Amino acid sequence: MNFKLFFEALFKYVFGLLIIGLLLFLPGTFSYWQGWLFIGVLFIPMFILGMILMIFNPDLLKRRLNNKEKENEQKWVLVLSGLMFISGFIIAGLNYRFEWFILPNIVTWISSAIFIVFYILYAEVLRENSFLLRTVEVKDNQKLIDTGLYSIVRHPMYTVTIFLFLSIPLILGSIISFVIFYNNPFIIIKRINNEEKVLVRDLKGYKEYQKKVKYKLIPFIW
């Protein structure tokens, strides 16, 4: 086992857990049960997936831990995404504490099930594409993937993350946070438009792939 990689992954895992916990519970209350549920449905599968990658594909795990963007346009995407998450989590905690607009519990449970299903699809995308980065760039010897989910849309990871992110505020029971997280698809569209330029420029065969798989994000729509 690569212990340096293990401790780097563990540090980022714990750091993410603490940050999300602080954003949810400090503005709200530690009795915010939807907040605890969300932490469970996010961080338990994340831990399991992380350990699988650590054992079977440490190179992919290392690439997924890197979030230093080289493209200036993508840096703005990260800033917008960060603001969305921070404000969405804080509002969700405040929404629960002051009982502004609390969604029915059934919405929380259904959204949790949806989140888990799409997290499984997230893991499937990682299985299909071991070159999948968190940053927009093309690595040496990177191969074009056009099978599986990649034969349906060109960016299945983004399709999956849209459903993941939109289910988060519903798990948290906050319709106000849902309005904030609804900006995510537009942020992703901005990211895709820039990423496609990079892939056409740097990834061999991508132009032909665009002709073969016409839809970027959602079949028959876009």
Model pLDDT for residues 9-35, shown as the tens digit of each residue: 999 999 999 999 999 999 989 999 999
pLDDT in tens, 108-156: 999 999 999 999 999 999 999 887 776 666 777 788 888 999 999 999 9
Contact call for residues 145 and 131 (beta carbons, < 8 A): yes
Closest CA to 186 of 80, 115, 75: 80
Place of tokens 């293990």: 6
| CA atoms of 164 and 130, how far apart (whole Å) | 21
Query: The domain at 3-212 falls in which architecture?
Result: Up-down Bundle (1.20)
Q: Is 217 exposed, middle or buried (0-12, 13-18, 19+ CB in 10 A)?
A: middle
Which pTM value belongs to this model? Answer: 0.91
Per the rule left: phi > 0, alpha: psi between -120 and 50, beta: everything else, 205 is left
Could you tell me which residue, 20 or 205, shows the higher pLDDT? Answer: 20
Question: Domain residues of the chain, as ranges?
Answer: 3-212
Place of tokens 């009795």: 31
